[in-house]
Amino acid sequence: MKKISFRQILIFYFVYSFSIKFLMLPQSLTGAVGRDSWIAAGLGALAELLVLFIVLMSMNRKAKARLLMPVLLAFFLLQVLITLRQTNSLLSTALYESLNLHMFVISMLVLGIFFCYAKTRAVFRAGEIFYVLILIAIFLSVFPSLWKVNPSETLPVLDGGIKPVLRAVFDNLIYFEAAFVLLMFKGEVELKKGFRRSFMIWAGVGAVAFTVFVFFYYSLFGPLAGIRTLGIVDVTGVNSYIAQNGRLEWIIACVWLLLLLMRFGVLFYCCFACIRHITPSKFQPAVIVFPLAAAVYALFVFVSLPSVLDALRLPVLIFFAAMPLLLLIWGWIASAFSKRVQLRHPKGGAG
């Protein structure tokens, strides 16, 4: 089977990561710490880069840590619900006046089931198409509004101290999780010389870009940034040309909708993959997919997601702190075991 190329995995990382960050985090961070939101964005992105570095270190090991799968399953399931909520918000706010909740969830679950049966590389090839759209959407959203930016809105820096900023980072760590998704594609990526270094450099560029965008966002809206709801899509309303040409604003919203759909499909597949590693291999995919879809439907329709997120802030923080350490420990154990096996059964040795 042909492996996922460096270009495909890198583009996927950006498409997946930006799809939720540019929509949810600007208003969440500005609502929490105001003018210091860009500092919180930078610290969150830095934490994500640290996790990414540890994840990339384990990418060359084909075997997945089965003991970690239940924890990853719970985390990915939470991400599925968050993505469903944000997609519903985008559709009902920017594209439709009314949206039937049950039909929306069922349609999304059909998409998720399709991702479970699709070839992995085909999904990554789709990301190569979407990244052009996301660049165009960012340009059309940001560039026409640059002359309305007022950087003085972000001053003074850290007027309320560093503690509120750190609290905002901790409360929003759940949105800096793109690196964990890469764990589900270990062994499927084509690892060439310099892969990790190049990936980290480009990921660093993306982290800087997101931090700059949050700075731009608060400089543009000022104290009102915290009451916005759709992040980068709200930026289009500031520009008079885009506002007068409603179709252009609609197109930008549709581009972000495509990214959210891809994000949801990938997360649903990650839940499916986690369950497959937990359950016996003799189980057919349908035995896993349809109960998973039913569980997602029930959780999204009948459970209050905001209250769940409030209750899970501490567990999510523990997850972000513990998972990288567990990956390092698992990597050390796997490496030590491999060396021990090689010493017992050296290649070319006598049988």
Q: What is the pLDDT along the chain (351 residues), one digit of tens a residue?
A: 578 888 889 988 988 888 888 888 888 899 889 899 999 999 999 999 999 998 888 776 655 567 788 888 989 999 999 999 989 888 888 777 778 889 999 999 999 999 988 877 777 877 777 778 778 877 877 777 777 788 888 888 888 889 999 999 988 888 888 888 988 887 788 888 888 899 999 999 999 999 999 999 998 888 888 777 778 877 776 766 666 655 667 777 788 888 899 999 999 999 998 998 888 777 778 888 999 999 999 999 888 888 887 877 788 888 887 888 777 777 676 666 655 655 565 554 443
336's tokens = 């030590």
Cis peptide before 164 (omega within 30 of 0): no
- Between CA 49 and CA 43 the distance in angstroms is 10
pLDDT at position 351 is 38
What is the domain extent for residue 155?
6-344
Which residue, among 207, 210, 218, 208, has the nearest Cα to 32 in the 3D structure? 218
Dist CA 150 CA 128 (whole Å):
35
- The total number of structural domains that make up the chain: 1
Task: For the chain, give the longest Cα–Cα distance.
Answer: 79
Q: For position 62, what pLDDT does the model report?
A: 55
CA angle, corner 42, sides to 132 and 155, nearest 5? 110
d(CA 90, CA 133): 17
pLDDT given for residue 245 in this prediction:
59
Ramachandran quadrant class, 161 (left: phi over 0; alpha: psi -120 to 50; beta: rest) = left
Number of H helices, E strands in the chain: 14, 0
Assess if residue 351 is contained within a domain.
no
Tokens of 219: 């400089």
How far is Cα 9 from Cα 265, in angstroms, rounded to an integer?
16
Residue type, 104: F
What's the pTM value of the predicted model, to 2 decimals?
0.87
Q: What is the CA radius of gyration of the chain?
A: 21
Residue 318 host element (H or E): helix 313-344
Query: CA separation (Å) from 5 to 23, 141, 181, 202?
Result: 28, 30, 16, 15
Q: How many CA atoms lie within 13 A of 69 on its CB side?
A: 16
Confirm whether 16 is domain-assigned.
Answer: yes
Q: Is the residue at 350 inside a domain?
A: no
CA distance 249 to 233: 8
110 in a structural domain: yes
| DSSP string computed for 158-187 | TTT-SHHHHHHHHHTGGG--HHHHGGGGTT
Domain harbouring 203, CATH code = 1.20.1740.10
Q: Does any domain span residue 1?
A: no
